[in-house]
């Protein structure tokens, strides 16, 4: 009996120890669950706060949409104005060149006008003084200069061929009174013939730009 009592007591002690250990395990497990639930709740709270902040930011961004639209429009307007300014600057840079081109064109026009007036004055003076020339060679020298000036002015004209014919006639003439045509109905002196040609050349030059 004594041996059985001791065994029973020993068994009860072991059972008590196991129950105590199990209780400690349950307590620790419960604490772990509570801790993890607390952490989970904290994370949920944090996530909820983040969602709310995100929602607020979305609302603010939506509120900024009209302002952003205005910014984009203003940027486009600024770009257009900058392009206009660039274009104006490029035009200003090209103004000296265009001005120079215009001045050159004016100078060429004035030069051509001066040359034309010079030729007209030479022809007029030659016709006026034809009767005073005693030597055909004197007339030839003047006419050769006029021919050269006409070539510079026109670059080539029928007048040059006609002047060359007159120069050939002057080479063989003794005086300006020489008859240049043997046909009695159209015969005329070299002086008269040259005077008529001068009138013809003046008319041609008057209409020549």
Is 186 inside a domain boundary? Answer: yes
- Segment 13-41 shows an average pLDDT of 77
Domain count, the chain: 2
Do residue 96 and residue 133 come from a single domain? no
Do residue 103 and residue 134 come from a single domain? no
Is 117 inside a domain boundary? Answer: no
Task: Say if CB 159 and CB 201 are below 8 A apart.
Answer: yes
Quote the pLDDT of residue 91: 54
Among 110, 139, 162, residue at a domain's last position: 110
Do residue 98 and residue 148 come from a single domain? no
**Is 189 in a helix, a strand, or coil?**
strand
Do residue 140 and residue 192 come from a single domain? yes
**Cα–Cα distance, 129 to 139 (Å, whole number):** 10
Q: Give residue-wise pLDDT tens across range 177-192.
A: 888 765 544 678 888 9
Please state the φ and ψ torsions of residue 173, each to the nearest 5 degrees: -85, 145
Do residue 17 and residue 100 come from a single domain? yes
**Number of Cβ atoms within 10 Å of the Cβ of 123:** 21
Do residue 97 and residue 146 come from a single domain? no
Do residue 45 and residue 147 come from a single domain? no
Residue-range definition of the domain harbouring residue 195: 129-206
Do residue 2 and residue 90 come from a single domain? yes
Q: Residue 200 contacts by C-beta under 8 Å, 6 or more apart in sequence? A: none
Q: Give residue-wise pLDDT tens across range 48-80.
A: 888 777 777 777 676 766 766 766 767 777 777
Do residue 24 and residue 74 come from a single domain? yes
């Amino acid at each position: 009996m004594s041996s059985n009592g001791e065994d029973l007591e020993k068994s009860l002690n072991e059972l008590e120890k196991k129950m105590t250990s199990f209780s400690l395990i349950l307590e620790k497990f419960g604490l772990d669950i509570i801790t993890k639930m607390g952490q989970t709740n904290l994370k949920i709270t944090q996530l909820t706060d983040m969602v709310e902040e995100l929602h607020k930011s979305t609302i603010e961004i939506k509120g900024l949409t009209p302002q952003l639209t205005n910014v984009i429009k203003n940027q486009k307007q600024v770009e257009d104005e900058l392009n206009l300014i660039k274009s104006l600057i490029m035009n200003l840079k090209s103004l000296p060149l265009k001005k120079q081109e215009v001045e050159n064109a004016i100078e060429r026009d004035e030069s051509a006008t001066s040359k034309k007036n010079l030729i007209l004055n030479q022809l007029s003076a030659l016709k006026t003084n034809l009767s005073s020339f005693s030597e055909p060679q004197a007339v030839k020298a003047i006419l050769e200069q006029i021919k050269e000036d006409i070539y510079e002015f026109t670059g080539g004209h029928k007048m040059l061929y006609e002047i060359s014919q007159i120069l050939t006639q002057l080479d063989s003439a003794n005086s300006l009174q020489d008859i240049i045509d043997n046909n009695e109905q159209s015969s005329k002196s070299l002086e008269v013939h040259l005077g008529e040609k001068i009138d013809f050349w003046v008319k041609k030059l008057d209409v020549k730009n």
